[in-house]
Amino acid sequence: MKISLRGNVSSLLHGIEELQEDYAFTLSDNGYPLAIIQQKNAPLTVSADKEAGKIIYDERAHFFRAFGLFLENLQSSNEFHIEEVPQFTTVGPMFDLSRNAVMKVEAFKGLIRKLAMMGFNSAMLYMEDTYEVKEEPYFGYMRGRYTQTELKELDDYAFFLGIELIPCIQTLAHLEEFLKWDATAHLKDTRGVLLVESEETYSFIEKMIVAASKPFRSRRIHIGMDEAEELGRGIYLNKHGYKKRFDLMVDHLERVMAIVKEKQLEPMLWSDMFIKLASSTGEDHYNLSTAISDYIVEKTPKDVQLMYWDYAHTKKEEYVEMIKKHKAFKSKPAFAGGIWVWNSFGTNYNLSLTASEAALQACKQEGVSDVFVTLWGDDGYENNYYTALLGLQFYAEHAYSRELNREKWKQRVKFCTGINAEAYLLFNELDQITGVIEEKTEQTNPSKFLLWQDVLLGVFDKQIEGIDITSHYASLENKVKRIRNADNEIDFIFDVPEKLCAVLSMKANLGIRLKEAYDRDDKNTLQSIAQSELPELISRVEQLRNAHREQWFRMHKPFGWEVIDIRYGGVVSRLDTASKRIEDYLNGHIAQIEELEQERLRFSNKPTENLGWCSYYYRMATPNVFFHVLPIY
């Protein structure tokens, strides 16, 4: 497709040129004329007739949204008229760059191009220690940290496409990966929490804030401070004695705010600690009965924007109530929802879309103008950002309409990413097992715990007893194969799910079959498992590992892959040991297989409509000591 740009588009030209390859158009004097490109305070308008096209936009991000709509509709017609009214002042994803998966700069640029065509005007970079602080060599050491040059390059690129990049850091908790080093002992209260009321700590925080903000045009900065339950309970307690966490929190925030103000930055802050500390238990983040006292309101700084994060509620009324509680702090809150890509190979779209629909409707009703959507990595990021693109498009479409048009949403994700909505929903099926949890919105991650669990120990076998998981994954493997298109630039994201299904169609219930054969002394089945099935399964795991490695190095820096590599190595080694243990038993070298003598118990006895949830690899791999947890300080 050839497009001819008319008029003064110099400020937009660089961004437009960057989109040509991805969206199959070229700029040419003899192309279809985009004759009027007008910036004014008015609804976003895109139109075309047989003679020429027209775009009216307010801010740069709106232009690229409009330009995407222009290209999309021009494919099927040269006569159309579209008007949209932006619903939010700020809308964008938050990329977790701290849980081993630090995106390569070029891969990040590719995502930025897609975000621009969707219509996002911001993105937060969640960096606990993965940015360069030159005075602190252990900060992000061997963690793939971004250099100042890399961050500036990303910011420049995003700027030309209308996207504000916002650093999102931590200035209190979630700093385990930095505080583990001996060189940081003087800064540590507990494993992940900084030592408050220490001048060395505030000198360090100032270095962090300067380093995190310097590469970016944005004056906004997210200073974190979520989930700091251990505050004041480690070295601080030993040194100074007990002090209420709320008082520690407020005093610390005031010190950090003084640094932020001096640097002329506009801070945001996760709100959960203030809501928790206002609750009767001091722990409950989402208690709808929590009353925000006048004392807490008075003590909380007014020149910081509280960000309410919530990924799991499914009713609009619950979000409305929590937004109102945030408004009690006398400032307009921001909101952060989530697309559930974390702690799994799958993406939980049942939960993500249901929760997001309720949350976004509540935000519109209550006038929340700054909305973000988080893509957390948590336990090492086996999944990836691309699988969330359908969910990101969901947020983008909500951001430009009062009510979501679902057909338009699906059409737009196909245009913006090249992949059908139905294909993205296959990621959901990695964890949503047909006939067990279909259409449910609870957390569940069998694609992860069934891969990493040990076939001899069967920690999760009782969870899946009596369920035909083998057929589910065999069927899903075929579905994934059918939707793949090698011509699409991001088709590679389906390679891991395809090969994971091939593994799980064999491995998911192998431990159950192995235990059953052992209990009935079925030596023929045991021999078949040892000599035929386990070697084939090892081969499939290696194919999965190779596909996963290829995907990782295409998207991410190398640091952090070693964690996933070690996990795969553990699976292969344990399958090999399982084969050896069976052979030793069959050959009479051992009288029994002690692991298979053990009764199988449920991993979780909590009532649930799904197969269960586990957050940590080490709990999936073994019930034995994986690492020794030292005292919190």
pLDDT in tens, 518-528: 999 999 999 99
The CB density around residue 416, as the number of other CB atoms within 10 Å, is: 24
pLDDT tens, residue by residue, 421-432:
999 999 999 999
284-325 per-position pLDDT tens digit: 777 888 888 899 999 888 899 999 999 999 999 999 999 999
**Averaged pLDDT, 171-182:** 98
* Main-chain phi, psi angles of 511, to 5 degrees: -60, -40
Strand pairing category for 53-57 and 44-48: antiparallel
Q: What does the pLDDT look like over 481-493, one tens digit per residue? A: 999 999 999 999 9
Q: Quick one: average pLDDT of 578-586?
A: 98
> What's residue 141's pLDDT?
98
Please give the angle made by the CA atoms of 194, 195 and 198, to the nearest 5 degrees. Answer: 130
Q: Can you give the pLDDT at residue 633?
A: 65
Nearest Cα residue to 386 out of 447, 451, 444, 341: 341
Q: 629: pLDDT confidence band, cut at 50, 70 and 90? A: low
Domains and CATH numbers, the chain: 2-84 (3.30.160.230), 90-244+300-418 (3.20.20.80), 431-621 (1.20.120.670)
Average pLDDT over residues 335-355: 97
Residue bearing the bigger pLDDT, 168 or 605:
168
pLDDT for res 285: 76
Q: Which of 446, 453, 463, 551 has its CA nearest to residue 501?
A: 446
Q: Report d(CA 455, CA 181) in Å as an integer.
A: 36
Query: What would the mean pLDDT of 185-206 be, rounded to a whole number?
Result: 98
Cα 551 from chain centroid (whole Å): 17
Confidence of residue 589 (pLDDT cuts 50, 70, 90): very high
Whether pLDDT at 437 is above 60: no
What does the pLDDT read at residue 514? 98
Task: Decide: 119 and 68 in contact? Cβ < 8 Å.
Answer: yes
What pLDDT is recorded for position 631? 67
pLDDT in tens, 364-422: 999 999 999 999 999 999 999 999 999 999 999 999 999 999 999 999 999 999 999 99
Task: Label the pairing between strands 44-48 and 80-84.
Answer: antiparallel
**438, pLDDT greater than 70:** no
Contact 28, 3 (CB under 8 A): yes
Q: So what's the pLDDT on residue 439?
A: 60
**Per-chain mean pLDDT for the chain:** 95
Residue 42, pLDDT > 80, answer yes
- pLDDT of 450 over the 60 cut: yes
Average pLDDT over residues 96-110: 98
**Whole-number Å distance between alpha carbons of 555 and 264:** 34
pTM: 0.97
CB of 33 closer than 8 Å to CB of 52: yes
Laid out side by side, the sheet with 53-57 consists of: 26-27, 2-5, 32-39, 53-57, 44-48, 80-84
The three-state DSSP-derived secondary structure of 143-185 is CCCECHHHHHHHHHHHHHCCCEEEEECCCCCCCHHHHCCHHHH
What is the pLDDT, as a whole number, of residue 605? 87
Work out the average pLDDT over 176-193.
97
